[in-house]
Structure formats: structure tokens, C-alpha cells
């Protein structure tokens, strides 16, 4: 049976505001699952809502739980000059950058309604981006041992185009992916992206030699997400 997912495009939004919004949806889903379990009403009770959020953040660096603060290469004054903010957050992974021209996707899903396998979840998110890139004639790929989507991962020209970092609790997910479409890649020079110091970062614009209409790319991501997760979006 096709599952319903509530879709919302938050537009350009401060990272902390989006994080707080995610947390509220995440907590609501977990609280409902706990209530159902306590009252033994998993089968008869109301299931948590599933959400998929799109947004774009002003310049911001975020550091995951397993990351090192040393991978931020500028100080407070440097952040101010770059008009960027910095947050230590509760997802997995190391440091990354978000900014204009990047599509950020936040699925808040109850994986009990899909599949209880985090590895499969991450690989499916990667596949969404790989299929989106293929629509533009680009071969996205996986890099063994790393998350995210890459081009030419096994060569000395390996470059990352999409970062992934998630948090899960009781099989509910939050955070998600950051896909470089028309991103200013200079901002990645101020960090060791994802803690990987010997690989490049790229964007759709850089690979194709032209800016892409972000709404068009978002539409393609939604189509592939819908097909791979077998969901129907409710606006």
C-alpha cells in the first residue's frame, strides 16, 4: 500500500529554525510511538505522520556528533567575514556546509512503516540523488566506506556532490541530505568537508557548466523519492 508523506518546502530558512521544526516533528512521532507501545495499541492506534522537507539555508557550517571541531578552519572572526554561522548538532557524520544554491532534504520518517534498516535507508537516499543526477547525464556513484554521492569515486578525481547525515531514534529519522546544485564551492575551503582532506567537492553547476533551475531539480528528487520509498506526497 502506498504510504502518505506530508511534503513542505520551507524555502530559505535559518538552520536553527529548520532544526527546531524538525525536532518538533521528530518528537511528536516518537511520543506517539511510545504512547502506542505503552497502551499496546500499535496495530489499532494512530501511526506517526511521515514528512519530507525541502529548504535552503543561509551560509552555515554544521558539525555532527562524530566530527572534530578542528575540521572548521576559520575562527569566529572568519565566520563573521563569511556571513556564516556554525552549529554542533545531533546528526551523525563530521562537518559540512549548507548555503544558497544547495538543496537540503529532511525526511522525518517512521521506518517501522518502511523498513527497519539504517544502512538500506542511507543507500536509498543516495539512490534518489544518483537517479536525479542521471536525469542530467551525470553518473553519480557511491564510495565504499563513505556515505553520500560522488563522481569518479575510485579515481584521483573523486569529488563529492551530496552529503548525508542522519539521526534516528526508535526508527524515526531526521536530518538528511545536502545536494550541491548551484552552490558556491568556495565555502568548502573553510572546512575539511566530512573530515575527508584529500578529496574534492563539486556541484551540478560545476559539472554541467551552467546553473540549473532549482525547482526543476527538486521536482526530480521528489519523483525519485516517491518511487523508491513507494510514497505519495501530500502538499
Which of the residues are catalytic? 194
Nearest CA among 167, 166, 229, 171 for reference residue 33 = 171
What angle separates helix 214-229 from helix 118-134, to the nearest 10 degrees? 140
Q: Are 207 and 140 in contact (CB under 8 A)?
A: no
For residues 64-75, one letter each, b for 16 or more C-beta atoms within 10 angstroms of the residue's C-beta and e for the rest, the string is beebeeebbebe
The β-bridge partners of 178 are 104, 163
Q: Are 77 and 131 in contact (CB under 8 A)?
A: no
Q: What's the grid cell of residue 225?
A: 523519492
Segment holding 38, helix H or strand E: helix 15-38
The β-bridge partners of 104 are 55, 178
Calpha distance 129→150 (Å, rounded): 10
The β-bridge partners of 149 are 162
* Residue 112 exposed, middle or buried by CB count within 10 Å (0-12, 13-18, 19+): middle
Amino acid at each position: 500500500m502506498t504510504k502518505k508523506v506530508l511534503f513542505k518546502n520551507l524555502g530559505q530558512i535559518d538552520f536553527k529554525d529548520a532544526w527546531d521544526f524538525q525536532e518538533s516533528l521528530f518528537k511528536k512521532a516518537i511520543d506517539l510511538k511510545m504512547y502506542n507501545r505503552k497502551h499496546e495499541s500499535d496495530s489499532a492506534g494512530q501511526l506517526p505522520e511521515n514528512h519530507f522537507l525541502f529548504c535552503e539555508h543561509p551560509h552555515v557550517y554544521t558539525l555532527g556528533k562524530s566530527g572534530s571541531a578542528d575540521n572548521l578552519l576559520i575562527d569566529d572572526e572568519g565566520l563573521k567575514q563569511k556571513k556564516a554561522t556554525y552549529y554542533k548538532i545531533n546528526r551523525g557524520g563530521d562537518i559540512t556546509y549548507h548555503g544558497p544554491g544547495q538543496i537540503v532534504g529532511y525526511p522525518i520518517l517512521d521506518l517501522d512503516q518502511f523498513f527497519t534498516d539504517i544502512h538500506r535507508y542511507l543507500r536509498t537516499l543516495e539512490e534518489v540523488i544518483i537517479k536525479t543526477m542521471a536525469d542530467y547525464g551525470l553518473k553519480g556513484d557511491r564510495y565504499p566506506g563513505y556515505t553520500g554521492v560522488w563522481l569518479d569515486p575510485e579515481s584521483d578525481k573523486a569529488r563529492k556532490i551530496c552529503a548525508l547525515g542522519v539521526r534516528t531514534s526508535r526508527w524515526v529519522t531526521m536530518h538528511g541530505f545536502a545536494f550541491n546544485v548551484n552552490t558556491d564551492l568556495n565555502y568548502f575551503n573553510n572546512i575539511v568537508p566530512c573530515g575527508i582532506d584529500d578529496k574534492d567537492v563539486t556541484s551540478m553547476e560545476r559539472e554541467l557548466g551552467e546553473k540549473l533551475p532549482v525547482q526543476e531539480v527538486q521536482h526530480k528528487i521528489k519523483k525519485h523519492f516517491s518511487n523508491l520509498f513507494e510514497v505519495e506526497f501530500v502538499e
